[in-house]
């Protein structure tokens, strides 16, 4: 496994005070918290920072970590020394953090994970294809769930086949009763709460229950009006483009969005696609257009 | 149980049917009931019917409560800060949506 330089992750010196470490954590947490950050890899960075903070804020863990000395560089192959952990209390920590790196687990063990959560209800987040909501249907998810194994808390992979309720929206939840963790021998298992989000779709962008589709039209279809074929989640329909349509115009197809209750709408956003002036005939057509209708699209710019 | 595929019965959308009590939220979020009450007092969670003797929440409150508790714990801010952060996050989402769709 790779050595992790927790000081580097936090951007602090090896002799940083507790106050400096706390300050660095708060700054980085605000920057990378997945609920507020738009940074790329925010989630991975936030986990890394959280793990570093958990070690450096706990005097026992920090002392144990420091014992490794500055002999290792970040990313270097690492194996814990044979006498590792002797004389340090590395168990126990605050709750709620999970999925530490292998490096952390090797140093502080499963006990360092913070013990079992009090709740046997479990929460997961999955990325769903939009079709699952549009049509309903079963999807298979692989979830990492905490389980007690020989008195230790471990993350196990569970493969669940879930019937996705038709019309579910991003941010909504599927509750599976009795599918949570069971931490006691004869205890009733808790529930599993799955929050869904959508993977990007090649045609539609979801915004709540509404869908947006960018539809390319020709200049003459936009100028003269036309009836063109457009995809919708329910199948191809004939769409009437009003004469004089501009690029960016939105045409609303009521009730053709996500089939929630009430169903969302489908907004068709027009894009004007220019045919290339690829040969002499096409060039002549553009020249004829220029001659027939003098038009300055920059008039408003004063030029 | 591990790595074998398990099938589940047909679930419904939680937000559409669930009505939650303070105790429900406290159990599902793994915090004590006092903490849920504080979220209500801070205006983070809305009660469905304030006249009812026992407070009730819609299913949508679960996601909001969990988000608030995550921010409180991970960013080490108090509930007033959480409430402000939530309002700003919502405003930001609205602005992003408007910008995206040219509304």
B83 located within any domain? yes
Q: What is the CATH number of the domain that holds B37?
A: 1.10.1660.10
Collect all residues from B whose CB is shorter than 8 A from any CB in A: 1-16, 18, 27-30, 59, 62-63, 66-67, 70-71, 73-76, 85, 89, 97, 100-102
Rounded mean pLDDT, B47-64: 88
Strands (E), chain A: 122-128, 137-149, 152-164, 173-176, 192-198, 204-207, 210-217, 226-230, 237-241, 250-253, 266-272
Dihedral sign from CA coordinates of A45, A49, A51, A52: positive
B5 located within any domain? no
Q: Is A80 on the interface with B (CB under 8 A)?
A: no
The span from the CA of A242 to the CA of A224, in Å, is: 8
pLDDT (0 to 100) of residue B102: 65
Confidence band of A185 (pLDDT split at 50, 70, 90): low
pLDDT (0 to 100) of residue A103: 85
Residues from chain A contacting residue B6 (CB–CB below 8 Å): 158-161, 179
Mean pLDDT of chain A: 86
Confidence band of A114 (pLDDT split at 50, 70, 90): very low
* Predicted model pTM: 0.79
* A122-198 has CATH 2.60.260.20 classification: yes
- C-alpha distance from residue A88 to each of A55, A60, A92 (Å): 13, 6, 12
Which ranges in chain A are annotated with CATH 2.60.260.20?
A: 122-198, 211-292
pLDDT (0 to 100) of residue A194: 92
Q: Omega of the bond prior to B36 within 30 degrees of 0, cis?
A: no
Q: Which of A217, A220, A204, A210 is nearest to A248 (CA)?
A: A217
Mutation to test the A interface, candidates B11, B18, B57, most A Cβ within 10 Å = B11
> What does the pLDDT look like over A62-78, one tens digit per residue?
998 888 877 777 777 77
Q: How remote is the C-alpha of B13 from its chain's centroid?
A: 15
CATH numeric code, A6-113: 1.10.287.110
B23 located within any domain? yes
Q: How far is B16 from chain A (nearest CA, A)?
A: 9
Q: Is A271 on the interface with B (CB under 8 A)?
A: no
In this model, does residue A142 exceed pLDDT 60? yes
Looking at this predicted complex, what is its ipTM?
Answer: 0.83
Residues from chain B contacting residue A22 (CB–CB below 8 Å): 76
* A211-292 has CATH 2.60.260.20 classification: yes
Give the count of domains, chain B. Answer: 1
Which ranges in chain A are annotated with CATH 1.10.287.110?
A: 6-113
B94 located within any domain? yes
Confidence band of B26 (pLDDT split at 50, 70, 90): very high
- The parent domain of residue B42 ranges over 14-101
Confidence band of B3 (pLDDT split at 50, 70, 90): low
């Amino acid at each position: 496994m790779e050595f992790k330089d927790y000081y580097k992750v936090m951007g602090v010196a090896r002799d940083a005070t507790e106050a400096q470490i706390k300050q660095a954590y708060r700054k980085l947490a605000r920057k990378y918290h997945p609920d507020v950050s738009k940074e790329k890899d925010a989630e991975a960075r936030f986990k890394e920072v959280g793990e570093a903070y958990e070690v450096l804020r706990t005097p026992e863990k920090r002392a144990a970590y420091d014992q490794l000395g500055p002999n290792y560089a970040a990313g270097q192959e690492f194996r814990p020394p044979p006498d590792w952990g002797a004389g340090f209390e590395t168990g126990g920590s605050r709750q709620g953090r999970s999925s530490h790196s292998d490096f952390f687990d090797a140093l502080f063990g499963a006990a360092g994970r913070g013990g079992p959560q009090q709740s046997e209800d479990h929460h997961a987040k999955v990325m769903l294809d939009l079709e699952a909501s549009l049509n309903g249907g079963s999807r298979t998810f692989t979830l990492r769930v905490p389980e007690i194994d020989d008195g230790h808390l471990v993350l196990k992979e569970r493969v669940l086949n879930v019937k996705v309720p038709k019309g579910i929206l991003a941010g909504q939840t599927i509750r599976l009763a009795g599918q949570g963790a069971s931490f006691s021998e004869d205890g009733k298992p808790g529930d599993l709460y799955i929050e869904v989000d959508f993977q990007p779709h090649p045609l539609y962008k979801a915004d709540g229950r509404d869908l947006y589709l960018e539809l390319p039209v020709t200049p003459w279809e936009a100028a003269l009006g036309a009836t063109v074929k457009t995809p919708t989640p329910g199948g191809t329909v004939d769409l009437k483009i009003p004469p004089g349509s501009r690029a960016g115009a939105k045409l609303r197809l009521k009730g053709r969005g996500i089939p929630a209750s009430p169903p969302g709408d489908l907004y068709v956003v027009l894009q004007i696609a220019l045919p290339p002036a690829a040969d002499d005939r096409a060039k002549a057509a553009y020249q004829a257009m220029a001659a027939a209708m003098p038009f300055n699209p920059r008039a408003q710019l004063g030029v | 149980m591990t790595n074998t595929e398990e099938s589940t019965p047909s679930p419904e959308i939680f937000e559409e049917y669930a009505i939650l009590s303070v105790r429900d939220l406290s159990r599902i979020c793994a915090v004590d009931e006092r903490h849920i009450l504080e979220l209500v007092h801070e205006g983070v969670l809305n009660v469905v019917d304030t006249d009812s003797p026992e407070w009730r929440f819609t299913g949508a409150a679960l996601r909001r409560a969990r988000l608030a508790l995550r921010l409180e714990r991970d960013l080490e801010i108090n509930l007033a800060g959480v409430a402000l952060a939530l309002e700003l996050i919502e405003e930001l989402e609205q602005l992003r949506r408007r910008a995206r769709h040219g509304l």
